[in-house]
């Protein structure tokens, strides 16, 4: 039997009551108000779960019906929203999709107006290892009487019976720390050698000193690269010193220097 009432009170004020439904609440209007929704005119408290259709939980399996709960309006959530499944097609800051937001932010971070700019008063930096090299064509003799030739990439002293020396200026970043030197050379007669080094010249006129040096050890007519990590006062101070790469040869044209590389560590641009 169906009872029809214009209104009904359930329970008492301050105490409340219980309304039992074993079916469905619908709007039974069949005239012009047929599309009017069932209206709750006050706050609604629901102690159980909400789902749509006969089955609870999301769509799963070939026999299940895909009946998601629909919210046909804006939704304001005062607390936290926890999502166990997938968030599809959200609008976040005018972006049509969460992946679009991620891609856009990544692109912005890598763009020239943001990726190359650091807006921090005290940024921290990871240490970076770098290498600086001086071309042998840039080396000049310590004395004008020293004879030499540039053979390809190599520096080759010629016709000197005494040890001969060459230098070239090198610039290393302020505050960087020298880690090692590498020399690349060829020697074809025993007893001859070449020493490569990084030297600093004090601006106040104090004597120059070696930061790191390496002397060749092989004379077999082959190209060798050797290194030294024995560094003295390796922190670069361009306010008090100038720095040079130096090469000293013993003998004549039996030793050729192909390169000098300085490895250093830099902790900020």
Rg of the chain (C-alpha set): 41
Question: Please, is 245 exposed, middle or buried when counting C-beta atoms within 10 Å of its C-beta (0-12, 13-18, 19+)?
Answer: buried
* pLDDT digits 0-9 by tens, 149-174: 988 889 999 877 667 899 999 999 99
* pLDDT digits 0-9 by tens, 19-33: 888 888 888 787 877
Q: Specify the pLDDT at position 25.
A: 84
pTM of the full structure: 0.57
Pairing verdict, β 241-250 and 193-202: antiparallel
Distance CA 119, CA 117 (A): 6
Domain boundaries along the sequence of the chain:
128-266
* pLDDT digits 0-9 by tens, 176-222: 999 999 999 999 999 999 999 999 999 998 889 999 999 999 999 99
CATH of 128-266 among 3.40.50.1100, 2.60.120.200, 1.10.10.10, 3.40.630.10: 2.60.120.200
Cβ pair 203, 145 in contact under 8 A: no
């Amino acid at each position: 039997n169906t009872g029809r009432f214009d209104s009904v009170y359930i329970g008492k004020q301050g105490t409340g009551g219980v309304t039992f439904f074993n079916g469905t609440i619908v709007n039974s209007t069949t005239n012009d108000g047929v599309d009017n929704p069932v209206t709750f005119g006050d706050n609604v408290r629901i102690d159980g779960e909400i789902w749509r259709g006969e089955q609870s939980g999301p769509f799963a399996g070939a026999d299940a019906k895909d009946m998601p709960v629909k919210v046909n309006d804006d939704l304001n959530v005062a607390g936290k929203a926890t999502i166990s499944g997938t968030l599809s097609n959200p609008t976040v800051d005018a972006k049509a999709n969460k992946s679009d937001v991620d891609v856009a932010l990544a692109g912005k971070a890598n763009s020239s107006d943001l990726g190359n700019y650091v807006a921090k008063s005290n940024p921290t930096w990871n240490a970076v290892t770098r290498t600086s090299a001086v071309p042998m064509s840039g080396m000049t003799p310590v004395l004008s009487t020293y004879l030499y030739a540039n053979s390809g990439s190599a520096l080759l002293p010629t016709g000197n019976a005494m040890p001969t020396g060459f230098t070239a200026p090198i610039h290393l970043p302020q505050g960087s720390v020298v880690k090692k030197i590498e020399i690349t050379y060829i020697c074809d007669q025993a007893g001859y050698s070449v020493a490569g080094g990084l030297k600093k010249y004090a601006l106040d006129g104090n004597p120059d000193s070696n930061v790191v040096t390496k002397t060749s050890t092989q004379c077999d007519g082959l190209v060798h690269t050797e290194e030294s990590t024995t560094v003295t006062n390796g922190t670069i101070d361009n306010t008090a010193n100038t720095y040079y790469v130096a090469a000293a040869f013993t003998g004549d044209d039996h030793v050729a220097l192909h390169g000098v590389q300085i490895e250093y560590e830099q902790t900020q641009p």
